[in-house]
Amino acid sequence: METPAEIFATCCIRPLVLLMMIIDNIEIITSRANERVKKAVAVRKSARDRKRTGLFFLEGARLCADAAKCNTDIDTMFFSDKAFEKYGAEIEETAEKSRSVYRISQELCDFLSETESPQGVFCVCRMSEKTATLPLADKKYIALDDVQNPDNLGAVARTAEALGIDGMIVYAGCDIYNPKAQRAAMGSLLRLPVIRTDDLCSLLSYCGSIGLKTYASTPDSSAEKITRTDFSGGVVCVIGNEGSGIRKPVLDVCEKMITIPMKGRAESLNAAAAASVLLWEMVRE
């Protein structure tokens, strides 16, 4: 007997109206007590469960379709009938790459969702084992020193990918598989090389040893203005924690402190906004 994913794969070249006729063959889940639903909620809510299981949660038709395009290992997909009417093409593309596919009731959509207006498409995916471990010379990286806000993390990843940055380095702070971070990144965290480190100081020292410039971003007006900074060649720019900025040991190991010139009364920028300005300067030349 064909699995739901195989049914979608077989019918992927057929008109969408025909696909709507076959969704009745896909098992529907209505209970919150269902084991697959409980697993999805657990990895959505808990970084500890994500780390323990190696699974993470995605929400949204576009994001789930992006995961399929990136060949992300999709363990389970859920969608509602209402979602299929609106996002049939995205659901078809995602289902084709999913191991298991389930229809869910509208009540379960609301239960699974973190958003006010859920689209009704969700995936539980397996974390990639193909993560970068060390930066490369002559490449450009943005490094996050204990950035806590998942929206900031996702926004930085999205801007970095859009501007052609080679990768992102993440120390502590927000889990890159946090569902909010994934939504804010709009798929960029699935595509952009991410280096996770438990020792940012040592990694930055290594970067310096292979010829990468290492710059620490600070609101200190005595630091070198980014408009005068040399961003040619390989560079790592560090963005600090939203409240306390870059830790002193990281400042000490960086080659130079740089700052964004500010004319207004604001003392600093939001982490994601500051990163956007730095990223633009990194690639402008």
User: Looking at per-residue confidence, does 241 or 23 come out higher?
Assistant: 241
Q: What is the pLDDT of residue 4?
A: 55
Instruction: Give the model's confidence band at 13: pLDDT under 50 very low, under 70 low, under 90 confident, else very high.
Output: very low
Collapsing DSSP to helix, strand or coil, 216 comes out as strand
Mean per-residue pLDDT over the chain, rounded: 92
What is the mean pLDDT of the segment spanning 75-85?
Answer: 95
Q: Which residues contact 177 (CB under 8 A, 6 or more apart)?
A: 47, 50, 56, 127, 189
Instruction: Give the model's confidence band at 59: pLDDT under 50 very low, under 70 low, under 90 confident, else very high.
Output: very high
- Provide the CATH number for the domain formed by 140-284 in this structure: 3.40.1280.10
Whether the pLDDT of residue 232 is over 50: the answer is yes
Q: Are 4-126 and 140-284 equal in CATH topology?
A: no
Instruction: Give the model's confidence band at 12: pLDDT under 50 very low, under 70 low, under 90 confident, else very high.
Output: very low
Q: How far apart are the first and last CA of the chain?
A: 58
Q: Which one-letter amino acid corresponds to residue 164? A: G
Q: What is the pLDDT of residue 14?
A: 46
Task: Report domain extents, the chain.
Answer: 4-126, 140-284
Looking only at the bridges linking them, the beta strands covering 121-126 and 55-59 are antiparallel
Looking only at the bridges linking them, the beta strands covering 28-29 and 98-104 are parallel
- The encoded tokens of residue 218 equal 């600070």
Q: What is the pLDDT of residues 116-171, one digit of tens each?
A: 999 999 999 999 876 668 999 999 999 999 999 999 999 999 999 999 999 999 99
Q: What is the pLDDT of residue 3?
A: 59
Look at domain 4-126 and name its CATH class.
Answer: alpha beta
- For tokens 């789930």, the residue is 64
Q: Which one-letter amino acid corresponds to residue 2? A: E
Q: What is the pLDDT of residue 1?
A: 54
Q: Which one-letter amino acid corresponds to residue 78? A: F
Collapsing DSSP to helix, strand or coil, 206 comes out as helix
Q: Considering Cα of 78, then 81, then 86, then 91, what sign does the dihedral take? A: positive
Whether the pLDDT of residue 199 is over 50: the answer is yes
Q: What is the pLDDT of residue 2?
A: 59
